[in-house]
Structure 1
Amino acid sequence: MSLDRVGSFVEEEEVVRLTQQLIRIPSVYRPGVAGGNEERVARYVEALLRDMGLTVYYEEVVPGRPNVIAFYDSGRPGKTLLFEGHTDVVTEGDTDQWSYDPFGAAIANGRLYGRGACDTKGNLAAAICAVKAIQRAQSPFCGRILLCIPCDEEGMMIGIKHFIGRGWADGVDGAIICEPEENQLCITQKGAMRAIVKTYGKMAHGAMPLTGINPNTRMARLIVALEQLEQAEKERIGQHPMLGWPSITPTVVQAPVKGEAQLNVMPDQCMTMLDIRTVPGQDHQELRQKMEAILDQLAQEDRDFRATLDVIEDRPWTLTAKDDPIVQAVADSYQAITGRNPVYNGVPGATDGTFLHQAGIPIITTGAGDRHIPHHADEYVDLDQLVETTRLYARSAVAFLGA
């Protein structure tokens, strides 16, 4: 069978219907809320994959938050291709801001609306239906297709970390990360460091500040110094052609850290959370050392300056070469399906692919959906693009795994 024919076995109504079914099972993580996790949608996907004849594993990462792992084995020795698409979605927020039920999966004007339609239940459905198309076509290939369907991509990514820690990523030769990128081929993505900095002082009356030590003014100096470091990194690295500028962004400033704030009380501590985004060319360890050097310098200038820096998450930037086999397979398939040259780009944030890359797996991120729509009210996916993605996934898998 011709490689280009596998896409003709994609059933358009099937991928739309599956996307609707996934959206209608809410999977927003809400701690302490019964059913407020990914369990129901994971069980649904598990049953579907078993019905398809795949070898399926269901693993709880923490109670109520499972990963689903499934293999479609050709029975011939060869490479392993991984499709990754998470089950969790972000909160729907204020439903009054929605024109459609966030979990109703309504269709209007060629678009499917709902939380997760774009990020990323539509693309999860596309990956599953791509495997179905390969089964129907009986397309000859070697090796295995591995479906990784983890929890908690929108949080601390405990699902993919558990997947890798359990050894499931061992021996994988390439991975397609199923995220909304308008079917652009994203071969790089920003790294992320999440850090908490605290400055320490001495509580005092607001009318008599000299009897204490103000952690807030010390934090202000620190934030200004971090802004200067950000500018220095921009000048050193320059603007990345796909990812733009690196950044060091204070997102939360809080004082006091514990207890109730009061206008006439100078607190004893101040805390700032930093969302740090990096691009190729930046070394995370070196960047951390530069931040620690700022703390040391401020302490030399002010004997009352005391601060701590705690990096709570470290996600490296990724870069996959255009001539890597997984990129070539997707690029060739995109051109064959659409008749257009692929558009290469980068992911502005981090994905589960960050950790797969760190585990030594070449990754490419692509899928249906406007890349600016995730987490918005009235999130949607264009149905034509969703079907195109399903065909892209199916052909890419057969092209990568060969005959």
Structure 2
Amino acid sequence: MNVKTGNETYLRDREAVINLTRELVQIPSVYREDDPNGNETKVALFVAQYLRDIGIDTYVEEVVPGRPNVIGVIDSKKPGKTLLFEGHTDVVTEGDSYAWKFDPFSAHIEDGRMYGRGTNDTKGNLACMITAVHSLLRDKEEFKGKIILCIPVDEEGLMLGIKHFIKQGWADGVDGAIICEPEENNVCIAQRGAMRIKVDVYGKMAHGAISWSGINPNYQIARLIVELEKLEKEEQGRLGKDPFLKWPSISPTILKSPVKGDAQINVIPDQCMMTLDVRTVPKQDHDELLEKIYEIIERLKEQDPNFKAVLTVIENRPSTFTPKEDPVVQAIYESVEFVTGKPAIYNGVPGATDGTYLHLHGIPIVTIGAGDREIPHQINEYVDIEELAVTTAIFRDAALRFLNSKGSK
């Protein structure tokens, strides 16, 4: 079956998901630390009211001031499994809005695509999961168990929303989770782990013309970067190319020197700083990798008694893997084939998602959704509107397959 030929349910849901995506995108939800209105409040409250209006029991829980999670619960009142859909409300900054072809929060539609920040990552997929569940309710579909809509804040940051969701007990008893992210409707059963690390290197401030009177931390951090590049190549050679996630990586991302005060061309700074975005594959052990980085620092100290570096792990998210035979994976896989009429594609997520913490809580996860995998966070972000409709149909069918399968409780 290929639903693109159109049936009444598909066409009805297609219109609904397009309209809901536009409404969500047109409510900016970039987190801006110094802006009292720069958070997810408006879009979260909009979503909460939308869920209530379509008859879903809805809960709003503030994670930190101005940043509320929304939880929707659809209970069949029949014994069975619990399926969770997850889609976050925050989006990354739009950057230079004048560089966009259209206003980044206009949700402009042209040539079959909707443009705007969040169309792809991941308000479009949030609209898909809501519309899919609404479709089940509108058609009075019979299913067992329970569906939970997890709509957290801060996925693009430290994932405070999903951590709060789990801490409040909402994830207890969940049997499978569908993480709604832009993956071209590939069935993603693995995702890379992530470590975010800050490294402070200390020297001694001096006049640039009298360099021997100071200690230049820039040379020291440069030596460290060279050694980290060697470590990255060693890990890639040791582990090879992962079939879903490709290569592990160690990426210096932010370099700052000096850390405080104004930089001057004739002043050797007393301190410099860098951040590392470390991405791992399932074969890597984070503790072992961290130990290798510490060993590099110790070796550099032995070579130079003035070398002083302090490493701080800001975030530590392990990689994840869900077996193909897991019921939630099979439900999605079969639904993709049923809805599109084409073989489903297994794949992996290049970055980390809120699913990381659900996985750590013991919940099998699969990541899938509408949108080009390489478009998130770019200027002129977009999603194909037909893909939104297809994804909605996949989510709808997968929920019924998972909850009504023979393995139901």
Above 0.5 in TM-score?
yes
Q: Does 1:206 align with 2:208?
A: yes
2:73 aligns to what? Answer: 71
1:288 aligns with 2:298: no
1:169 equivalent to 2:194? Answer no
Residue 249 of structure 2 corresponds to 247
Shift of 1:34: 3.8
Structure 2: segments with no counterpart, 5+ residues = 1-6
CA contact (8 A) 2:13 2:392 kept: no
Contact 1:373 1:380 in 2 (8 A): yes
The residue correspondences of 1:89-238 to structure 2 (distance < 5 A) are 89-238=91-240
Distance 1:38 1:17 in 2: 20
Count of residues in Structure 1 that have an aligned counterpart in Structure 2: 399
Q: Does the aligned pair in 2 maintain the 1:9–1:137 contact within 8 Å? A: no
Contact between 1:72 and 1:145, CA under 8 Å: does it hold in 2?
yes
| Structure 1 counterpart of 2:271, from 269, 272, 278 | 269
Q: Distance in 1 between matches of 2:218 and 2:380?
A: 40
**Deviation, structure 1 residue 331:** 0.5
Residue 299 in 1 paired to residue 301 in 2? yes
Residue number in structure 2 paired with 1:335 = 337
Asked if the contact 1:65/1:151 (under 8 Å) is kept, the reply is: yes
Over aligned residues, Cα RMSD in angstroms?
A: 1.5
Distance in 2 separating the partners of 1:143 and 1:391: 20
Aligned-pair identity in percent equals 59
Which is worse superposed, 231-240 or 91-100?
A: 91-100
| CA distance in 2 between partners of 1:394 and 1:309 (Å) | 46
Q: Which moved more, 1:255-264 or 1:128-137?
A: 255-264
Pair 1:60-2:62 in alignment: yes
Instruction: Give the alignment of 1:316-355 within 5 angstroms.
Output: 316-355=318-357
How much has 1:31 moved relative to structure 2?
Answer: 2.2
Q: CA deviation at 1:11?
A: 2.1
Contact 2:257–2:273 (Cα < 8 Å) also in 1:
yes
**How far apart are the structure 1 equivalents of 2:255 and 2:32?**
24
The residue aligned with 1:389 is 391
Asked if structure 1 preserves the Cα contact closer than 8 Å seen for 2:197 and 2:314, the reply is yes
- Residue 354 of structure 1 deviates from its aligned partner by 1.2
Segment drifting more, 306-315 vs 196-205: 196-205
1:367 Cα offset (Å): 0.6
1:77–1:64 Cα change, 3 Å: same
The match for 2:3 is none
1:310 counterpart residue number: 312
Distance 2:306 2:34 in 1: 42
Aligned AA for 2:243? P
Aligned to 1:20: 22
State the Cα deviation string for residues 76-117 of structure 1 (Å, max 9, x = none). 111110000011111222222222221111211111121111
Q: TM-score, normalised by structure 1?
A: 0.96
Q: 1:290-336 CA deviation, whole Å, 9 max, x = no partner?
A: 10011111111211111111111011111111111000000011111
Alignment correspondent of 1:33: 35
Q: What's 2:381 paired with?
A: 379
Taking the aligned partners of 2:133 and 2:269, their CA distance within structure 1 comes to 58
Shift of 1:226: 0.8
> Which amino acid counterpart does residue 296 of structure 1 have in structure 2?
E
Structure 2: how far apart are the matches of 1:256 and 1:396? 53
DSSP 3-state at the match of 2:209:
coil
**How far did residue 6 of structure 1 move?**
11
Q: Distance in 1 between matches of 2:288 and 2:399?
A: 38
Q: Runs (4+) of structure 1 moved beyond 6 Å?
A: none
Separation in structure 2 between the aligned mates of residue 213 and residue 13 of structure 1, nearest angstrom: 64
Q: What residue identity is the alignment partner of 2:258?
A: P
Q: Distance in 1 between matches of 2:274 and 2:96?
A: 27
Report the alpha carbon displacement of residue 7 of structure 1 after superposing the two structures with TM: 5.9
Question: Hey, what's the Cα distance between the residues in 1 that align with 2:110 and 2:336?
Answer: 27
Structure 1 residue runs of 5 or longer lacking an equivalent are none
Quote the Cα distance in structure 1 between the aligned partners of 2:258 and 2:53.
Answer: 55
Query: What is the match of residue 45 of structure 1?
Result: 47
Q: Normalising by structure 2, what TM-score? A: 0.95
